[in-house]
Amino acid sequence: MSARGRCARVLPSELNKVCPERGDEPATHPSMMSDFEVVPNLQQSSSSVSRSRRKAHFPAGSNEKENLISWIPENIRKKECTYFVESSQTSDSGRIVCECGYLREQHLDDAAKPPIFLGKEWDPSRHIQEMPTDAFGDIRFTGLGQKTGKYVRVSSDTPPRVIYHLMTQHWGLDPPNLLISVTGGAKNFVMKPRLKNIFRQGLVKVAQTTGAWIITGGSHAGVMKQVGEAVRDFMLSCSHKEGDIVTIGIATWGTVYNRESLVCPMGGFPAEYVLDEENQGSLSCLDSNHSHFILVDDGTHGKYGVEIPLRTRLEKFIAEQTKVKGGVAIKIPIVCVVLEGGPGTLDTIYNAITHGTPCVIVEGSGRVADVIAQVANLPVAQITIALIQSKLSVLFQDTYELFTESKLVEWTKKIQDIVRSQQLLTIFREGKYGQQDVDVAILQALFKASRNQDHFGRENWDHQLKLAVAWNRVDIARSEIFTDDHDWKPSDLHPVMAAALISNKPEFVKLFLEQGVRLKDFVTYTLVYLYDNLAPSCLFHSKLQKVLLGGGGSTRPASKVPRLQMHHVSQVLRELLGLLTQPLYPKPKQAERPRLSIPVPHIKLNVQGSSLRPLYKRSPGRVTFTMDPVRDLLIWAVVQNRRELAEIIWAQSQDCMAAALACSKILKELAKEEEDTDTTDDMLALAEEYEHKAIGVFTECYRKDEERAQKLLTRVSEAWGKTTCLQLALEAKNMNFVSHGGVQAFLTKVWWGKLSVDNGLWRVITCMLFFPLLYTNLITFSREKRLQPPMGCLARLRAFFTAPIVIFLMNTLSYFSFLLLFAYVLMVDFQPVPSWREYLIYFWLFSLVCEETRQLLYDPDGLGIVKMASLYIKDFWNKLDICAILVFIAGLTCRLTPSTLYPGRIILSLAFIIFCLRLMHIFTVSRTLGPKIIIVKRMMKDVFFFLFLLAVWVVSFGVAKQAILIHNEERVEWLFRGVIYHSYLTIFGQIPSYIDRVNFNIDQCSPNGTDPYKPKCPETHGDNNTPIFPEWLTVILLCLYLLFTNILLLNLLIAMFNYTFQQVQEHTDQIWKFQRHDLIQEYHGRPPAPPPLILLSHLQLLLRRGLLRQPATHHKLKEKLEKNEEAALLSWEMYLKESYLQHQQCQEKQNTEQMIRDIAQRVDVLAELLDLDRVKRTGVVEQRLGSLEDQVHQSAQALRWMMQVLRGNGFSSAEDVPPVGSSTALGTKELALEGRAEERQPPCHVLARNLLYPGSHILRFPVPDEKVPWEVDFPLYDPPAYSAEHKDMAVQDPFSLSLESLLKINYNTMDGLIDRQSFHGLYTVQDGLPLNPMGRTGLRGRGRLHCFGPNHALHPVVTRWRRNLDGSIIRKSLKKMLEVLVAQYPLSDVWALPGGSLEPGEMLPLKLKWILRREFWPQFQNLLKQGTEVHKGYLDDPRNTDNAWVETVAISVHFDTQHDLEMKRLNSFLQGCDPELCIRWQVLDKRIPLHANHKELLHKVSTLLGAYY
């Protein structure tokens, strides 16, 4: 405690003791600031704190901590007592304390020497001052792990906006989707174990699933301790990914035990806090399971309840904030959860209900909660003072004696008002049907309050749906929102559908699709908006930004960055899908209106103020044309790697196989560029999953119909860039799909062309060499096999030689002939002058060059020469062809020059080697050799990496050996031999002879290095020519070199080869089948004649394309179908996709693990039902016993009355007859009460007894229902007096209640211009004051009314029928619907009927005159005379008092036809009224947001007209 006296000024040495982490930094204190100076600092600090980093805790020494240290003292204050006044009370230790509760040494030094002007009496408003806070930072509870929370000491007058700014900007909390205020007993209490578990699990579940903040008192006792333990249990059982639960404790600084450890002017990071319950005494410790603490300081010590006003203001401020997430804005809802509790808890509940906050009362927790829960289902008239007294005597046994009679009256009145607001009150009962969990009860309470809230139109349904989406509670949406009570139009769900997509809530997307959302309408108006809201961490988002910035990656000003359009998305998608696909969203032409740009309005949906409909104003020209909306949404989900969302959307797709293969391709391309390894693994796993989906659908199709399934492979998909499924699979390298039996059967069919696949290869070769055999039965054609008419001679010849397999065999034979001829010329016939054989080779090569040129220029898809060249170069065999041709041309050039004849032959020999390597491409068609060639290609990569390692050892050993043995070798070629060549040969056993002295022979070397054919000799002794190098060293180096290269590196190479071989061997069949397609496609589009005869085909092609301008025939494996045929094919595919999905679901259910999970879940549900059944049966017995007790009590009362009557020889008044009880069980009564549509009207006024009088701070005397009539004796009744002064009114009664002024008033008659006559007849006047004919109100005087007695008013109810555009009347529940004229007056936030109080001598109310022009007043008076009077008498108004009340006349003015001249005239005069007024025709129903007494008038009008209400 002693630290508190020094907190205002701390020496550096003392600071080290309190905050050792801060070193010797001096404590600085900014100057005092008022609350109004906080706003600029809030704005400045918001720029210094990163909004994107939402971390609950930051490391010490970071920028965030420095910002916090500078920001908090400038914006947040504490309170200190500056004047010591001795108190009559003493501290717990018996020492003298100040009136504030602190000891003398805990005050400032100047507090004991007060100036004279302060006076002698202690006044908190003058003697407590604000100064910068000295307690904030991180709090760590000693001995309870490393969990760290946040805390701050604030003044009780701190603006809520400052605290909210601290929590969201500096503490890094995300704004909540829900605010849960938990209140109740502050002391420890006992709950049933089952109820405790249900409460804990439910509270944590609702907080964790909805992203809520939980606010409590923060101490380690009572309900706060229950909440803390619930959060603790959750954190111990959950994973780190589930996130923390924000639990905020708002406690009183002056009641916190050990608070001196939290004092640190420069911030505690962390401050160590000891939780010591044994020695806390009358104070309380903070709860260690809360994450944040706000400690409210009013400058006093030991005074509880200081935090309640600030907590109320903070909760109200947070509830007024709007949170925008996923394009949907919601007002943050708040709910109050009550456990146990005492008198303070009752006040909290009453204030919450009064302010419209829904409350959940947990029955069985004790005291106040049980009192309210036990009477909640009773009619308000049965909630009497005696009943409440009996409940309190049972539930407040220890403190019941403290309840005075006036306290009982107050409690009865408050409980009646609480129970009367059934729409805001929810009782959680253990075992009640539909409320097995507290989380469901909390969310249902919010929905019930929202559903019963007054509103215009349908905004509340939108509000509820947006809350459910924000909370991600699809179960609540299904059970509470999508019911028969409201019909949802698909277009109404578009904004929340967009929010669910952006927020990645797949279950809601599935729900909205079930509710009839049409994706075509939805995507048309939201696609660009969805791409605008991509997650910034998404790789696709960064690629899209590069496209918008021009691809250079340079930064541009935000104003110069072009607006996102769909052709920008198309550019990125084409990079991912491959160049063979056409743009999915073509760029609009400059002359056209950009249809593909969708500047969708920001879907910021204000829950309270607007409907969802106006946000989707659909104007032509601002929409997206899309041929497949499912494809668009699927791409949007896949590029963000959203597995569940993409799966739901893919299930809706029509071209599902192409969609799955395209998704696989996109994901694989994104995975190559993704830096995060976890995300990369997820993408690759999802890509594989989509490949399996495509295989599954194709398998179903292939089983049903092989030909139609093969059509799906080659069908040109307009939706996916005019590509095919087969092409997408090849681009994505989906080997599993390509190796599918159906795909291979199709490739085999293409490979054999029009020939039957049953023909043997030897038959084909035989007929190729002796083509007359074609006209025999040696070769069969597929047409003949299908029992079609036989082919003609030319047709058979053409069909045979155009088959790809025949073209391949002929080209193979031609290529072998070319190589044989080429080898013969090189080895036998290479003359200075080329022979005819050599010229034939040149001609042959020219035909090969022409064919390569044709392949390069062949562009059936219109991609352009540049893209075709890039695709051509990507193929390895094309690179090899180009290399061979270039080397051949280089050799030919040298060969034709006489001086370079021999080099030309050498170069041509090298070209022959490359041409021979080209043979491997031919062998890929073999099922045996094809995979081996692939293994060789893979091993070549291994060799490259191996050579890099080998080069290190070869060069290091070679240089060292050369430097040791040879001195100054200047010949470069011999340097290369000694360093590289000899070292390399040493690996294979050719050890140099001069490496040791034993095998050294000087005749094998040149002593001076002059012999060009001998290496230079090592240095020797001059006498005996023996080498002088250290033999031991060279031998050791040689042994080490051979050890690492011959044993280690070579075995490493063998291991690498073995791994590669095994890896390829495991997938040999798949790889061969995948590689096989390239060869088949090449020869499927190749001219039939082999080189050199292929020149004839080239000449024909040149004539056809160049001279005759005939379009090119597409030989690629594509087929464009007619629209009808394509639609039928896609429908068939979609049908089989559904079959595949059902089959997958069946397999999942049959899975052993899934079956075990299902059985465990069913056992849990069964156990829960059995437990609930036991609780229900126990409850039913208790209810029946209670009902029996009631009936016995009523029977006893009846018998007692009968005896009294018999004794008096006659009957008394009927009022003494006891009520006859019903034999209906209490449980049935409860269900009936909960299911009733409307409560019957109360027998007495209700609004006139609200405790807080409107427009003032006056509190009425509490008047329970039974004490309202004046005839009922109420000795305690002592209401306050209040009469407001109206400066703007010329006529008003005196606001003084002196008898002299009151005797001048004439009641029950015309008092001058004031009509003091009541519609209910004569009223009683007592002590010069009239008495309210309806009974007590709890307030004397005239309040805000102008006159004592009746204040007359006029309320015209102007209605018309609600009509469609065609003029027909709209009906609901078979009744016609009305529209009523309502107005909103200046300085008022509520709507009302156009009427009000009548001024003395006036015929129309002043408020009505504001609405109408003066020239229309006489006509409106005529309308009133023609109208129907629906009410005349007392009006239950909140302004009524015991001595002044409102009586009104309500007249119904109804326009039956839409062509009524008076209605048109009225509308014209309304349009020209005061612009500050708001007037509208509003649909009439029971939820129209008007004053409650006005709604009663509307009910009477609707009953009169037989209209819907």
> What's the whole-number mean pLDDT along residues 843-872?
82
C-alpha–C-alpha distance, residues 724 and 731, integer Å: 11
Of the chain, the end-to-end C-alpha distance in Å amounts to 65
Q: What are phi and psi of 783, to 5 degrees?
A: -65, -40
Ranges of H-type helices in 251-361: 307-319, 343-354
Q: Could you tell me which residue, 1142 or 244, shows the higher pLDDT?
A: 1142
Given a cut of 60, whether residue 223 has pLDDT beyond it is yes
Given a cut of 50, whether residue 1232 has pLDDT beyond it is no
Side-chain-side CA neighbours of 1063 within 13 Å: the count stands at: 11
C-alpha–C-alpha distance, residues 1305 and 1323, integer Å: 14
Which among 545, 526, 513, 710 is positioned nearest to 636, based on CA atoms?
A: 526
Q: What are phi and psi of 999, to 5 degrees?
A: -95, 15
Residues whose CB is less than 8 angstroms from the CB of residue 121 and which lie 6 or more positions away in sequence, other chains included: 85
Q: What are phi and psi of 80, to 5 degrees?
A: -130, 140
C-alpha–C-alpha distance, residues 971 and 1015, integer Å: 9
> What's the whole-number mean pLDDT along residues 474-482?
83
Task: Tell me the sheet residues that pair with 339.
Answer: 184
Average pLDDT, the chain: 80
Which amino acid type is present at position 313? R
Q: Does 270 sit behind a cis peptide bond, omega within 30 degrees of 0 on the bond before it?
A: yes
- Do residues 250 and 215 lie in contact, with contact meaning Cβ atoms separated by under 8 Å? yes
Global pTM reads 0.70
Q: What are phi and psi of 318, to 5 degrees?
A: -65, -40
Residue 846, helix vs strand vs coil: helix
Q: Give the pLDDT of residue 641.
A: 92
Q: Give the pLDDT of residue 117.
A: 40
Give the single-character DSSP code of 121: S
Q: Could you tell me which residue, 1480 or 1207, shows the higher pLDDT?
A: 1480
Task: Tell me the sheet residues that pair with 1355.
Answer: 1450
Which amino acid type is present at position 804? P
Q: Give the pLDDT of residue 1491.
A: 79
> What's the whole-number mean pLDDT along residues 118-124?
69
C-alpha–C-alpha distance, residues 318 and 202, integer Å: 23
Assigned token pair, 1404: 């129309």
Residues whose CB is less than 8 angstroms from the CB of residue 949 and which lie 6 or more positions away in sequence, other chains included: 1049, 1052
Which amino acid type is present at position 726? L
Q: Does 1092 sit behind a cis peptide bond, omega within 30 degrees of 0 on the bond before it?
A: yes
Which among 1441, 1186, 1230 is positioned nearest to 1333, based on CA atoms?
A: 1441
Structure-token match 């080997």, residue found: 735
Structure-token match 């044994």, residue found: 278
Give the single-character DSSP code of 282: T
Residues whose CB is less than 8 angstroms from the CB of residue 700 and which lie 6 or more positions away in sequence, other chains included: 1136, 1137, 1139, 1140, 1143
Per-residue confidence band for 1182, with pLDDT thresholds at 50, 70 and 90: low
Sign, Cα dihedral of 1333, 1334, 1338, 1344: negative
Residue 1016, helix vs strand vs coil: strand
Kindly compute the dihedral angle of the four CA atoms of residues 357, 362, 368, 370, in this order, to the nearest 10 degrees: 130
pLDDT tens sequence across 942-972: 888 888 888 888 888 888 888 888 878 888 8
Of 331-335, 369-373, 1036-1040, the range with the highest mean pLDDT is 369-373
Assigned token pair, 41: 């600092």
Which amino acid type is present at position 516? G
Residue 1293, helix vs strand vs coil: coil
Q: Could you tell me which residue, 1090 or 1222, shows the higher pLDDT?
A: 1090
C-alpha–C-alpha distance, residues 1345 and 1341, integer Å: 9
Three-class HEC string of 1389-1404 = CCEECCCEECCCCCCC
* Kind plus residue range of the DSSP H or E element containing 670: helix 656-673
Question: What percentage of the chain exceeds 90 in pLDDT?
Answer: 27
Give the single-character DSSP code of 1030: -
Tell me whether strands 268-273 and 136-141 are parallel, antiparallel or unpaired: parallel
Side-chain-side CA neighbours of 518 within 13 Å: the count stands at: 7
pLDDT tens sequence across 1149-1162: 777 776 787 788 77
Tell me whether strands 1349-1361 and 1378-1384 are parallel, antiparallel or unpaired: antiparallel
Question: What percentage of the chain exceeds 70 in pLDDT?
Answer: 83
C-alpha–C-alpha distance, residues 1242 and 1265, integer Å: 9
C-alpha–C-alpha distance, residues 75 and 37, integer Å: 8
Q: Give the pLDDT of residue 1119.
A: 83
Residues whose CB is less than 8 angstroms from the CB of residue 1228 and which lie 6 or more positions away in sequence, other chains included: none
C-alpha–C-alpha distance, residues 495 and 617, integer Å: 12
Per-residue confidence band for 1112, with pLDDT thresholds at 50, 70 and 90: low
C-alpha–C-alpha distance, residues 1456 and 815, integer Å: 97
Per-residue confidence band for 601, with pLDDT thresholds at 50, 70 and 90: very low
pLDDT tens sequence across 984-1011: 888 887 777 667 666 667 777 887 777 8
> What's the whole-number mean pLDDT along residues 685-698?
94
Which amino acid type is present at position 328? V
Q: Give the pLDDT of residue 1221.
A: 42
Structure-token match 């909103």, residue found: 1384
Per-residue confidence band for 558, with pLDDT thresholds at 50, 70 and 90: low
Helix axes 1226-1235, 1152-1207, angle to 10 degrees: 110
Per-residue confidence band for 1260, with pLDDT thresholds at 50, 70 and 90: very high
1433-1437: Cβ within 8 A, 24+ apart: 1433/1319, 1433/1320, 1434/1245, 1434/1319, 1434/1320, 1434/1333, 1434/1334, 1435/1353, 1435/1493, 1436/1245, 1436/1246, 1436/1247, 1436/1248, 1436/1334, 1436/1492, 1436/1493, 1436/1496, 1437/1247, 1437/1248, 1437/1493
Distance of CA 1370 to the CA centre of its chain: 39
Per-residue confidence band for 613, with pLDDT thresholds at 50, 70 and 90: very low
Radius of gyration of the chain (CA): 47
C-alpha–C-alpha distance, residues 1001 and 983, integer Å: 20
Three-class HEC string of 338-371 = EECCCHHHHHHHHHHHHCCCCEEEECCCCHHHHH
